[in-house]
A and B are shown apart, each in its own frame.
Chain A
Amino acid sequence: AQSVAQPEDQVNVAEGNPLTVKCTYSVSGNPYLFWYVQYPNRGLQFLLKYITGDNLVKGSYGFEAEFNKSQTSFHLKKPSALVSDSALYFCAVRVLGGNKLTFGTGTQLKVEL
């Protein structure tokens, strides 16, 4: 069975500071990893994904994520947070040939002035 853990329900960051939203996964085989963002009363928006190759993946809105196979992690990062980054962030995993995308429980990011 595949699973995703987002250990922090909420992350608070001051605007201008770097942010990290943590994600760890468990799968049999090679993982395909995704990050989505959800703004209030909206659907999920795709941010970035790791399939293969460079462990550092760059995505939308200045976000990036680092795949670490030994630590089974895929943390989302941004060098300088904006108040407008405040939202709910979901990590998700799938495996080769798999239909099922398994989501974490989400991390609420709050960026304050």
Chain B
Amino acid sequence: DAGITQSPRHKVTETGTPVTLRCHQTENHRYMYWYRQDPGHGLRLIHYSYGVKDTDKGEVSDGYSVSRSKTEDFLLTLESATSSQTSVYFCAVSAGVSTDTQYFGPGTRLTVL
């Protein structure tokens, strides 16, 4: 698992509330990613980070923000949760880009009622 933990593992929340998901890694990888997994869509990139305080948007970034104040932690915030954000969220890490393998965390199942 490349030393990746995600918290919480499960969360149920209500529409309109803010939610923060945490990804923690122990192996000092430079790159960190947030994906969401939905049936029929595979995994889609939300945001990624290429260093402390360096982040960029992925293909489905609307309604999400991220922060990375330490190498080991990458936070994903849903500013005002909507039912369309009900999904399974995965964090991933890699040492570099292009040829480097991404390793995934165990996931967080989020339900927005």
Contacts and interface: CB of A to CB of B under 8 A. Distances in A.
Contacts of A98: 97-98
Interface stretch (A10-18, A39-47, A78-86): A39-47
A105 B40 CA distance: 6
B102 A96 contact: no
B74 interface: no
Contacts of B1: 43
A43 B106 contact: yes
A43 B43 CA distance: 11
Size class of the contact patch on chain A: 20 to 34
A101 B102 contact: yes
B106 A99 contact: no
The residue among A43, A99, A100, A103 with the most chain B CB atoms within 10 A of its own CB is A43
A103 B92 CA distance: 13
Q: Which of the four size classes fits the interface of chain B?
A: 20 to 34
Nearest to B6: A43
B41 A99 contact: no
Contact of B31 (A43, A96, A99): A99
B1 to A, nearest CB: 7
B97 A43 contact: no
Given A43-B90, A99-B48, A99-B97, 16 more contacts: A34-B102, A36-B104, A43-B1, A43-B4, A44-B92, A44-B104, A46-B101, A90-B42, A90-B43, A94-B98, A96-B98, A100-B58, A100-B59, A101-B33, A103-B42, A105-B42
Interface of B: 1, 4, 31, 33, 40-45, 48, 50, 56, 58-59, 90, 92, 97-99, 101-107
13 contacts: A43-B90, A43-B107, A44-B43, A44-B90, A90-B42, A90-B43, A98-B98, A99-B50, A99-B97, A101-B45, A103-B43, A104-B42, A106-B42
Interface of A: 4, 32, 34, 36, 41-46, 49, 51, 90, 94-101, 103-106
